[in-house]
Chain A
């Protein structure tokens, strides 16, 4: 089964990361963890994209997840990493559940821009909130895992392992979801909604569910990013952040649930290399690199691997 194969690949790559961890340089572990966090958000985007919905405001839930993790640590003394991620997902999912009633009515560019508007409203609220540090943001206190606070030397590795584990679990669940009837409706909705309705399925319900799942994934990603970077600020809800996630998703292609993580990793590398090699023109470097990928690999990077398999 195709699904099992891709999951196997992801499992192996993540396992390799976990095993190689102790010998990998710290900055590489950092980049990998961030890639996983962004990959989770991109996975949420993929879910929506398969149904033909483009969200320009996914950063909303990324930010909610991050701020949940941060405030839990700072004000409620809950510093357990996994608990923070779960709470981040829960809060994001809850808010998505409510907003989903509004958003599920829209399609196309309106869906995109309404999601953008909501994300920017959160940005505005956070900037105004001096208690939450306004644009300076707040630092996250170091996290613990099952009550143990990892020391300086091993904290990168611990966070990486936690990230890998959570990512694998989340991807597994998403993959299962995609094999259910509601999950498979995505392609049908993208094609022709009216036919779906005539078939007896509820388009709105399907979209609402996808929206909530995507939000939960983004919430986890946000919490993971918050723990890794150690800092949260309103920028996480800004539209350029959403743009970055969208970029990663399109770059990777929607071919497989594994693709977003690959896209996030490649994007992270291109971004860093651009800063390194051309600090004065990194935007152009990024733009050209992305343009090349889009022109030569229109189905995203994942199509590179798909082609081989098809043969």
Chain B
């Protein structure tokens, strides 16, 4: 019994020692908790590119090397420190780690989360703990449609935009098409992506027929039977929201069977595989990057700088998770500095930064980000799609179409599903 008591006391004591911040002449550092996938299959397409972007950007910002309006060092002069946590594990684990980040590490801001399930679980906890939290990637529109938050933000558009934009592009590119089929992963992301795409197509081309909707398990890896079914279905367009590993497996298995030659494929997250698997993607496949990222980023000084720095450091071009993480950090920085200026140059409080971030419009390497819906907490951006074309062995995109933000995102106060069913009324 004594042993147990001793053990318990020691453990509690070990954890109770809170980090003591050293008072110095320069402003105290700003601690950002960064949460993203560092293990498992989601690490390579999302987590690691996002983490790389976070490390690169905070380093450059701390040195004051970013172009205007981000030229101030760190956040308003205060150096940025990052605490990086793996997003792997159940939502229970993630909620635990979020609480640890906020209450043990005492971070000032939390930026993270790729998985919609985690975003949904963490949002109320962020409100409870009153900590500014910015979701940089997760796709579900439910967060700001089902509830209102004061401390929670998302500086990336929702996945609704991908599906609506896909439907618009398909209609523009193949107005005479008659049938569609789907191949999406059987979990919320895949179900929502297909659901929104199907509903959008029904609005734009009511006569279109749905041949089949295949929903294999997430990370299944073996799609021969699904490919056979799709080949048999002979749909004009095949929609898929597969990404990275699954997408690569699909492309590898589909190429010798000519699936995407016989039907036009629209891969809403195609950017994650387009460079490496150029040889397996037939010309004319529609590729998406979940927004104006990567090959679709509009030319700007910011983007040129960002692209060059990223390639110099990591030898690969930045993909959309990197863009999203970067604009998440830049958005918070701008809001922080705005709040600091309004506060007479003193370090702003969380509430002041949150108020400044609300309804903010700012520029990221992917273009304009408007925090326009979700009562000013949810971003909208334009979306872009294009068709693949292999030129001289290298992958390029042609027939690029851009769709303005208001056309592919629901207006304030309207749920995505309702907006689509109502015919995209603004």
**Contact in complex: A272, B96 (CB < 8 Å):** yes
**Contact in complex: B186, A128 (CB < 8 Å):** yes
A window 284-309: CB within 8 A of B: 304-305, 308
The CB with the most chain B CB atoms within 10 A, among A12, A24, A282, is that of A282
Q: Do A230 and B86 form a contact, CB below 8 Å, given A133-B188, A269-B11?
A: no
| Segment touching A, from B65-73, B119-127, B231-239, B292-300 | B119-127
B90 at the interface (CB under 8 A from A): yes
**Contact in complex: A233, B85 (CB < 8 Å):** no
A229 at the interface (CB under 8 A from B): yes
A31 at the interface (CB under 8 A from B): yes
A-B contacts, 13 listed (Cβ < 8 Å): A16-B8, A25-B16, A27-B100, A27-B103, A30-B96, A128-B186, A230-B124, A231-B121, A235-B117, A269-B11, A276-B100, A279-B38, A283-B39
A136 at the interface (CB under 8 A from B): yes
Contacts of A187 in B (CB 8 A): none
Q: Report which of A34, A127, A230, A304 forms a contact with B187, defined as CB distance below 8 A.
A: A127
A236 at the interface (CB under 8 A from B): yes
**Contact in complex: A136, B142 (CB < 8 Å):** yes
Contacts of B85 in A (CB 8 A): 275-276, 279
B window 50-106: CB within 8 A of A: 84-86, 90-93, 95-97, 99-100, 103-104
**Contact in complex: A26, B99 (CB < 8 Å):** yes
**Contact in complex: A136, B120 (CB < 8 Å):** yes
Complex CA gap A235/B11 in Å reads 29
A175 at the interface (CB under 8 A from B): no
A152 at the interface (CB under 8 A from B): yes
Contacts of A30 in B (CB 8 A): 96, 99
The CB with the most chain B CB atoms within 10 A, among A13, A231, A262, is that of A231
Query: Known pairs A134-B188, A138-B120, A233-B121. 18 more at Cβ < 8 A?
Result: A13-B8, A16-B8, A24-B12, A27-B100, A30-B99, A34-B92, A135-B189, A136-B116, A136-B140, A137-B120, A139-B123, A229-B121, A230-B125, A231-B117, A235-B91, A268-B96, A275-B85, A280-B86
Complex CA gap A9/B3 in Å reads 12
**Contact in complex: A139, B186 (CB < 8 Å):** no
Contacts of A202 in B (CB 8 A): none
A197 at the interface (CB under 8 A from B): no
7 interchain residue pairs of minimum CB distance: A231-B121, A135-B187, A27-B103, A134-B188, A136-B188, A135-B188, A279-B86
Complex CA gap A230/B16 in Å reads 25
Q: Do A305 and B3 form a contact, CB below 8 Å, given A24-B12, A280-B38?
A: yes
Contacts of B189 in A (CB 8 A): 135
Which residues of A are in contact with B by a Cβ distance under 8 Å? 9, 12-13, 16, 24-28, 30-31, 34, 127-128, 130, 133-139, 152, 155, 225, 229-231, 233, 235-236, 238, 240-241, 262, 268-269, 271-272, 275-276, 279-280, 282-283, 304-305, 308
Q: How large is the interface on B (under 10, 10 to 19, 20 to 34, 35 or more residues)?
A: 35 or more
Give the nearest-CB partner of A66 in chain B: B92
Complex CA gap A16/B99 in Å reads 23
Contacts of B8 in A (CB 8 A): 13, 16
Q: How far is the CB of B137 from chain A (nearest CB, A)?
A: 14
Contacts of A276 in B (CB 8 A): 85, 100
**Contact in complex: B186, A229 (CB < 8 Å):** no
Dominant secondary structure at the B interface: helix
B4 at the interface (CB under 8 A from A): yes
Contacts of A308 in B (CB 8 A): 3
**Contact in complex: B117, A136 (CB < 8 Å):** yes
B128 at the interface (CB under 8 A from A): yes
Complex CA gap A136/B16 in Å reads 33
Q: Report which of B96, B104, B123 forms a contact with A34, defined as CB distance below 8 A.
A: B96
**Contact in complex: B97, A272 (CB < 8 Å):** yes
Q: How far is the CB of A28 from chain B (nearest CB, A)?
A: 7
Give the nearest-CB partner of A30 in chain B: B99
Q: Report which of A12, A13, A28, A225 forms a contact with B92, defined as CB distance below 8 A.
A: A225
B191 at the interface (CB under 8 A from A): yes
Contacts of B4 in A (CB 8 A): 9, 13, 262, 305
Complex CA gap A139/B123 in Å reads 9
**Contact in complex: A275, B188 (CB < 8 Å):** no
Give the nearest-CB partner of A8 in chain B: B1
Contacts of B123 in A (CB 8 A): 139
Complex CA gap A238/B90 in Å reads 10
Complex CA gap A39/B258 in Å reads 53
Q: Do A134 and B100 form a contact, CB below 8 Å, given A229-B92, A275-B86, A280-B38?
A: no
Complex CA gap A75/B66 in Å reads 50
Contacts of B120 in A (CB 8 A): 133, 136-139, 231
Complex CA gap A235/B115 in Å reads 13
